[in-house]
Structures are given as structure tokens and as C-alpha cells.
Structure 1
């Protein structure tokens, strides 16, 4: 089960001039400010615009469902508007086999994310809109209760920490009490820098922690560990050893580094897993690569596979997604599970 911010990605190829115009760094993820609002109609007006079901957690759940194969093995909650974009998100999730139990806000439009693709890298500007209005009361609906009680693994990207920490903690406490698995993703440096209290509230419940090298470095710098984030292995070990509510499970920390090896910390030990390189000409769009890694990892975790198999599936899923525009994948999953 995933909880997050459902967004419709509005994706297009842009020049570096567009990035400069909106003061956006290459390969970054930010929340939209007033100055960014014109980017959405500008992207729509360009040739080649694509609309793709998005939102970090939703992406990971869609990939996990794809790799598990049997429909209905995953569920997702978030808040959408009662509009065409919301319907598009719902139709996409359902077509992918995900049980989407959205909260619907009748007064606020569905959230969107500008995906600026430049030289194969992507920059994201998220306008949360309705996604920002998820309420803990949604967890009291009969369907939500059914989903929460039947799930064995719970996942949330750090972006949801900006919306409803109370909702996340309600679910994580139930997970800890039932000795079920909760996975958390740091998601972006700005989450670590500006929502540190929310991260600190969720982290004690996390059995698995995911992030990329930029987020790991930001965490190390923020908390003065691992030579201010320069030593990623030291940061991973520190996060791994932080207090946990559920002492029955040891924490696993997973740091991806793009094409470089993935760092895994568990039980005070670091293991690195090499990434099979992808030919430069095969790279289309890195948007969704990290989400896909988590999706592949979760699919194998669901099957109770060992860590090395989870990481391998994550690498494979990310490799598939970066050969497509947005977090998209072929109809059939060819992964040799």
C-alpha cells in the first residue's frame, strides 16, 4: 500500500533557456511557487507534450504492481480533484491493476507536475493543488480500513510528509504494532532541509529507507554526519542505526547513485551492488528512475526475496523506465524473478 501525492505529469523536452527562465536546476525536484505557474500552460502549448500518471509514490506502486503481475496486489491512496485530470489518474491506476482509493476534493483541481526534460535529465516542479488536501479522515472509510488491515508492506515518498504527517503516522503505528513493513523515501533535498521535523517523526517507524546520493548527502550535511554527507557509506550506517519503534526488524538503508553502485546498510555492514550500465543512446528520460527502482525492490520484498534480489529488480526496473518517456513501461514485465 502506498500513500502519496497523486499528480498528473505534464512532460516535454525543453532547452536550458527554459530552465534558466524559471530558475530551475537540472535534475532537481521542487514545489511550485508563484513564479513557476506560467510553466504549465507553456509546456502544454509546446509540440510533443505528454500527460502521464505521476507522483513519486504512485509511480513506485504502479511499477511494483507491474512486476508482481497479479492485478490487485497493490493499493494507493492520495487526494485528487473531481475533474478530468483526476479521472485520467484513476483510469491509469486501474488499468495498471492498482486499487486506487483516492480522496476526492470537489473544490480544488488535481495536482500537476511539470516535467522538464533536458539532455536526458529531468527537473520537476510540483503544483500539489488537491494532493495537498489529503485528510486523516479518509483513513476511516471502510475501503481504507480494509486496505490498511490487509496490506503487508506500506510505502511513502517523503513528499507526503509536506501534506499529512498525521495520516502517515496513523498507518506506520499500525504497521509497527502488527510487525508489518514500512518503507520511507527521503525523496528530495528540500524535504530534508525544510521538513526535518516531519522526517524525524516518520523515521523511527521506517524499516527500509530509500534515497539517492543527493538526498543522502543533504541528510549528512543537515545532521553533520559522514563528513557532512561526503561519506555516503557513513551516512547510511548512521541512519541504519538510529532508534526504531519496531525492534523486531532491523532497519535497511538503500542509497542509489544513478549508474554508480547502490549502497545498502544492514546490521552495521555496508554492501555495494553494481549497476549494469545502459548505452548512452538508449537513455530517453531519467524521470521516474528512482521511483521505478523502489517499485522493483518492493515487488521482490513482497515475494520475500533476499536483499540482493530486491536490489537487482530495482536496477532492472529503473533500466526499463529510463528507456521511456516518464514512468512508463511495456505491457508485459519480462523480469526473470
Structure 2
């Protein structure tokens, strides 16, 4: 069976009606869960180890959006401050990939030595898999890549044209044009580095039951060069932004590009955000990861990634809340604000550490198992929802609510996609 892409307008109209109903159900569940949204644990743990040179150890919740002075001490705690959503307010950079999404049996995963709920970069042994997928499975092509997924969700929830910007490398081919069109259709401003050496990258998004396994063939995405970022017109996009988000996968491609953006953010009091993204990055790209981590004002991850990070860095604990606090207390370049660490745990509450002593737990929006289509893109969607509220100046609690809303909506669909209608979420 060959690859299939549904394109009739009649099918799209029917899908939009279904998706509108899904979004309406999410709204109802969101309202029902607001009452139980937060449980806070605040402790003073003298046994937590972190770099004492960082002012993150301060237990007071200093202003997250800027420096605190005596004059504004009354408003120095993190609170809701509405921001004007301007063009290019959020800058992002990552690996643009075209997802090849399909359902497979467990035996197919075993054939290519893949695991559920995992994400890896394709090796030589995985390359024949892509041919098998196209020849023998019905494929749905979805514009993907972790960072681009998050930014598209953020853009959809903001609803302001070109409020977000994405940079990455694609091939001079049809897949590259599809990626560009899909991102720009949502309203994301793209500034791709287009080259002829490698084709546009792809990612096998294999759905097995409600779980997913991702295997990325970076191809062109791996060819990104800092020289592209340094171009006047592209660096102007960096300077224009106030918030920055880069998933950890880009650590395998261009650390110098990440550091250039991270240093700009730190030097100008802007918000720089990263994601642990995958266990293999914590294990095999440890040096690259720890070179960037000190610049992170907000760090995202899931419980599996947190556990591997803890093991690699000898934290001596498997408790997710403790790991989050230790990550929040990691050395920090910009000491004017504490680091916030957000760890998602699937069906369990999200953990948020503000500095090395304070932890909050936020329950997810409840969903019936039969309503779940697949979990591919759930983590990316959570980040996108979180970012959409952060750039508005909302509180961290409201940011998490936005993240839960987006994740809940996306897992009821195939891949990281969303309705064409305007997002109805309000925190």
C-alpha cells in the first residue's frame, strides 16, 4: 500500500466539525479541573546540592520578567503582567522535520530495535525502515520537529500573525516546501536555511497503541550553520524577540548557534528556554547540554528525561520533584531571576520547581482512554501552550493550564495538529 494524503475539501470540512467538537470537550474538562489545579509543596532542603555562585538559591520569588529594584520591590514577585503580543516576540530554532506518521504493531518496532515512548536519531540500521513505511503503510505527512511543533501550537493559541519565528535547515525539495507552507499557514514566520546538499529531514512517528516511537533522519536539519544565523536579516529576528525557545535536539546540530542566542538573552534580560527533549541527549550529549543549561531561565522535560539526567549527574534520587529542584538550582548565568523547571509526567501531575526549594504540582485535564488517538506531540503541545501564556505575561500557573489544555487537545488527534478555528482557550 502506498502513502496516502487526504486532500478533499469535503473531508476537511467534516474533520473541522469533529475537531471543533473535540476542542469544545477540552474546554469543558478544563473548566471542571480548574478547582483542583494546584497542590504546592514548599520546603527548605539543606541537603540539596547546587552551585552556590548562583542567586537561584534565594527563596523569594523575584520578578521573572526583569530585574528587581528597591523602587519596584512591591511588584517584584512573579505575577500576571499583560504583554502586548508583537510580531516576532518569540524566536525559536530547531530541526524542521516532516513526520511520517502511521500505526504499527509492536513487532515492527522490535524489527528496527525501537522502543515505545522514546525518541532517537536514526542510525544506518534504521534507514531501510523509511522505505518500508512508504511502501507498506498508509502514511500521514505532518509538518513536525519538536521545536517547530511547539511554536506552531503557540502561534495558534496566540492568534496574532507572525508573533513567532522559526529558523532551521531544509532541503531544496518538495518536502521542504511542504514544511514551509504548513508553518506559514498557521502564522509562523520562517527563515529557513535552504541548501542542496541534503534532502529535507524526516521523522518516523510510529504509533503503537496509545504510545509513540520517534526515529528522526535529520538529513538537511543536520546541516544548519551559524553563518546563517549571523546574517543581518536573521540576527535582526533574534534582537527583535523577547522570548527564546530551543528544544534539546538542536544540541546535536549547532551548539554555537544556541549559545549565541542564549548569551544575547542573558545580556539583555530576556527569557531563554530549553528542553531536555530525550534521554539520549542527557546521556550522550552531556557536555553540549551542560554548556547551554546555565543560560536557561525555564527548562522543560519529562519524567524519563529527568531520571536519566539525575543518574548521569549523580543526583542520588529518582524522585521527580527533587530532580526538578536540583535542576532549578543548577548554575545560572543570569542571576536576576530564579530558574523554573517544568517536568511533565504523562497522566500524572506536572511538576514545577521555582528555584531549588519550591515545588508545585499541577494535575492534568482528565481524559477517557478511548478519547486518546495518540500521544505523539503531546509534550511539544504542552510547551506550545505554556509559551503562549508566558509571552502574554501570565502567571506560571496559567502557563501550565495553557500547556495542559494544548496537550489534552492534541492527544485526541493524529500527530501534533489542531483545529483551523481560532483557539478558544482563556486562562
Normalised TM-score (structure 1):
0.98
Q: Which residue of 2 aligns with 1:61?
A: 151
Which of 366, 391, 400 matches 1:277?
366
Q: Does 1:318 align with 2:414?
A: no
Task: Write the distance in 1 (CA, Å) between the matches of 2:367 and 2:234.
Answer: 40
Q: Structure with the greater relative contact order (CA < 8 A, sep ≥ 6): 1 or 2?
A: 2
Task: Write the distance in 1 (CA, Å) between the matches of 2:402 and 2:376.
Answer: 18
Q: Does 1:42 align with 2:132?
A: yes
Q: Which residue of 1 aligns with 2:310?
A: 220
Larger gyration radius, structure 1 or structure 2? 2
Q: What aligned pairs does 1:105-254 form with structure 2 within 5 A after superposition?
A: 105-227=195-317, 230-254=318-342
Offset of residue 107 of structure 1: 1.5
Over the residues paired in the alignment, what is the CA RMSD in angstroms? Answer: 0.9
Q: Which residue of 1 aligns with 2:7?
A: none
Q: Which residue of 2 aligns with 1:308?
A: 397
**Any idea what SS the aligned residue of 2:116 has?**
coil
CA contact (8 A) 1:226 1:234 kept: no
**Any idea what SS the aligned residue of 1:161 has?**
helix
Normalised TM-score (structure 2):
0.78
Q: Which residue of 2 aligns with 1:20?
A: 110
Offset of residue 126 of structure 1: 0.3
- The size of the alignment, in residue pairs, is 335
Offset of residue 226 of structure 1: 4.4
Task: Write the distance in 2 (CA, Å) between the matches of 1:211 and 1:96.
Answer: 25
Residue deviations 1:222-249 (CA, integer Å, cap 9, x gap): 111142xx11111111110111111112
Offset of residue 44 of structure 1: 1.3
Where structure 1 has 5 or more consecutive residues not aligned to the other structure, the ranges are none
Offset of residue 142 of structure 1: 2.8
Offset of residue 47 of structure 1: 4.2
Which of 396, 416, 419 matches 1:327?
416
Task: Write the distance in 1 (CA, Å) between the matches of 2:398 and 2:233.
Answer: 32
**Any idea what SS the aligned residue of 2:204 has?**
strand
**Any idea what SS the aligned residue of 1:37 has?**
helix
CA contact (8 A) 1:11 1:43 kept: no
